[in-house]
Structure 1
Amino acid sequence: MARHEKALLRVSQWLDLSRSGRQEFIDTAQRVSSSQETTYTRYDEQYLQHLQQDVFTHDEVLRYLEEAGIGEDIVQDFSSGEIPFDEVYQSWNEIRYSVNEILDLTMLLKLVHSCSENPETLSQGIDSRYKFQKLVYLVNQELADQNQLDRDTAPYDHGKLERTGFRYTYRMRSSGPFAKALEEDKRRLYASNLIDEEVMAKVETPEINEEKCRYRITLGRSGEVVMDRFASQLEAMETEVLSDWEEAIDHVVLQFGHMTVEELHEYIMDLDPVKKAEDRDLLLRGRRVKYDSEPWITISAGGEIGHV
């Protein structure tokens, strides 16, 4: 995902488009922008002005909005270059998740943060989507291999993963273990400015969503705020559920964070469950969590916490 796509994604969300509609809007806007031979290296006021004056007023974009059933008044705002950016971006740096969910996603940020802090990785953040997927898998696998202290009454034995760890279920794909829900959450983290993705090189990895170029994943501005506030608290956690999870992340980063994609891929594909699995076979079931009934909180870019 290109850095500037975040701005277009926010506009598409404001338009309340479907998932496929959002992607079509982004593709249309990017096509119009690239045809004008303008290059922007930063997301800033100049780029927003370019969108407002040169892209959103273009006939191709306006035609798409009309065909998508967008209200006439909003189409007129686009046509006249008067899209209300203050309204569109007012919640740009506001994170809104359930209390239970914020813990899960915070631990993803912890993983990215730990890779950034590990001197052996020799790079900031996680240097590919492939490694992001596989490090989360290895964290859960480590927890699944640990025995619980009390009797396990679950219908399947996943050790400590029954009570802690990420909720992502992994299935076998051409790249090895892959969790679709993790990819979806990564996009949510990106849209909320919790993480950033940037193209590292025009070199593919084995990952199914990294076929043409490699992406580096780092903390976004809001993610840095969250880690500044909570990283030390996570390290000091004394509850078994959180301390085991945090220790598993640190151990996996220390053991595998420095590996190249090629080295990690060789290791992953040589694991017994992976070697025996066919395409889309279940490899590892994540911790089961339901969020619908949870209270909701917001975290602003300034680190302020509120309840919804």
Structure 2
Amino acid sequence: MTDRWMALRRVGEWVGFEGDELSEYLTIVRPIHNQALEDRKESHAERDLRDEYFEFLNENVLSAEPVVTHLRDHRIDEEVVGLFEAGSVPIKDTFRSQSVIDYELDEIVDFVMLLKLLDRYHEKAESGVEPLENLHSLIYLTNYQLSESDSYSVTKDHGFGMLEETGYRYTFERRDGYVWSDSLQRDLDRLVAWQLLDRELVDDPKPEWDRTYSIFLGQAANLFLTRFEKRLDSFDSLLLNEWERRQNDVIDDFATSSKVGISSHLESLDRFSDRSNGQIVLNGRAKKFTSDQSQRGIQINV
């Protein structure tokens, strides 16, 4: 029974409950779970529950009215509540140990903004970003625009512009006609592994492409966004809004551009054209995002 209680606990953690809120949630679901088990014994005494336990939880426990009401009372996002009502909570994913990752809010803000970039790109281009190097270039151009904007900080002598305090933390170097960030690529690989992003090989790649696959939002992306956008409320809204505004400008300008078109624009920028292959063209955000809350690691279930 220990594993079964753990499944209920993991679902609560996935929703975002912790501490007293998690204990309160478990206090509500446990008697519902016990009664559902008793009812099942009377009608399915001969059947083993192990192979269908998660289905049992969805149909008989998590979709129960007291559980749904409790979620709404705690202002859980309606998209998440809808999964409980429909009996379609992704229990298996929340129960797998490899689906838990620990990151600080300073890093989560990059993940959220990456997903928002891809979401807006899809709205404009009706496709994923292809080739991969175009995604690196779009994120670089977002940071470049921030670096060219006047900083609101009292320390304006660092040459970062607004990139001193907002924007991605990735550093970019020149790679022939595009830019590349190893740290960004590591994060992209992680997001793919966590199903926040998907990637697939392009059947008919262009001759000038180096990385011949497309990147787009994964099946877990929407739930991640609905949960963790709220975590950013404690950050400086001016800085986040400026970051998103610049990012949207870049997507609006280049979502339908080819790699050749983006490379041509990069060549028009002194920071790019004056650099040789392998040289840094732009450093990442200079300062960490901070909030009034503790910057302890946050457990993310995806």
Q: Do Structure 1 and Structure 2 share a fold, with TM-score over 0.5?
A: yes
Residues 91-110 of structure 1 aligned to structure 2 (within 5 Å): 91-110=97-116
Corresponding position of 2:202: 200
Post-superposition CA distance 1:43-96 (Å, at most 9, x none): xxxxxxxxxxxxxxxxxxxxxxxxxxxxxxxxxxxxxxxxxxx99x81354443
**Matched residue of 2:220: which SS?**
helix
For 1:185, what is the secondary structure of its paired residue?
helix
Does the Cα contact within 8 Å between 1:130 and 1:206 map onto a contact in 2?
A: no
Cα separation, 1, equivalents of 2:140 and 2:284: 9
Deviation at 1:193, TM superposition (A): 1.2
CA RMSD in angstroms, aligned pairs only: 3.0
Contact 2:209–2:259 (Cα < 8 Å) also in 1: no
* 8 Å contact kept, 2:165–2:287: no
How high is the TM-score relative to the length of structure 1? 0.59
Distance change >3 Å, CA 205–CA 272, structure 1 → 2: farther
**Could you say which residue in structure 2 is the equivalent of 1:222?**
220
The corresponding residue for 1:271 is 269
Partner in structure 1 of residue 252 of structure 2: 254
1:299 maps to a residue whose letter is: I
Partner of 1:129: 132
Secondary structure (helix, strand or coil) at the match of 2:199 reads: strand
Once the two structures are superposed, residues 154-183 of structure 1 have per-residue CA deviations (whole angstroms, 9 ceiling, x without a partner) of 5x3110000000011111222432211111
- Does structure 1 residue 280 correspond to structure 2 residue 282? no
AA aligned opposite 1:275 = S
Which amino acid in 1 is paired with 2:250?
V
Label 1:206 to 1:91 Cα distance change in 2 as closer, same or farther (>3 A).
farther
Counterpart position of 1:169: 171
Q: Report if aligned partners of 1:175, 1:206 keep a CA contact under 8 Å in 2.
A: no
Equivalents in 2 of 1:98, 1:238: separation in Å? 16
- Alignment of 1:143 with 2:141, yes or no, is no
Alignment match of 2:238 (pick from 240, 257, 260): 240
Cα gap change, 1:97/1:288 in structure 2, threshold over 3 Å: closer, same or farther? same
- Residue type of the alignment partner of 1:106: V
TM-score normalised over the length of structure 2: 0.60
Does the Cα contact within 8 Å between 1:93 and 1:193 map onto a contact in 2?
no
Number of matched pairs: 205
Alignment-mate amino acid for residue 252 of structure 1:
V
Which of 172, 184, 195 in structure 1 is aligned with 2:186? 184
Counterpart in the other structure of 1:296: 297
- By how many angstroms is 1:102 displaced? 0.9
Separation in 2, partners of 1:109, 1:95: 17
Question: In the alignment, which of 142, 158, 161 is matched to residue 160 of structure 2?
Answer: 158
Unpaired stretches in structure 2, ≥5 consecutive residues: 1-91
Shift in alpha-carbon separation, 1:117–1:94, aligned structure 2, 3 A? farther
Pick the structure with more helix per residue: 2
Question: What is the one-letter code of the residue matched to 1:262?
Answer: V
Mapped to 2, the partners of 1:299 and 1:232 lie a distance apart of 14
* CA drift at 1:202: 4.5
- Structure 1 unaligned segments of length 5 or more: list them: 1-85, 302-308
The answer to whether the 8 A contact 1:175-1:207 is kept is: no
SS at structure 2 position matched to 1:259: coil
Change (3 A) 1:144 1:177: same
Displacement of 1:200: 1.6
Is the Cα–Cα contact under 8 Å of residues 145 and 160 in structure 1 kept in the other structure?
Answer: yes
* CA radius of gyration, larger in: 2
**Aligned equivalents of 2:208, 2:190: Cα separation in 1:** 23
After superposition, the Cα gap between the structure-2 partners of 1:288 and 1:207, relative to the gap in structure 1 and judged at 3 Å, is farther
Corresponding residue of 1:69: none
Secondary structure of the residue aligned to 2:102 is strand
Residue in 1 that maps onto 2:120:
114
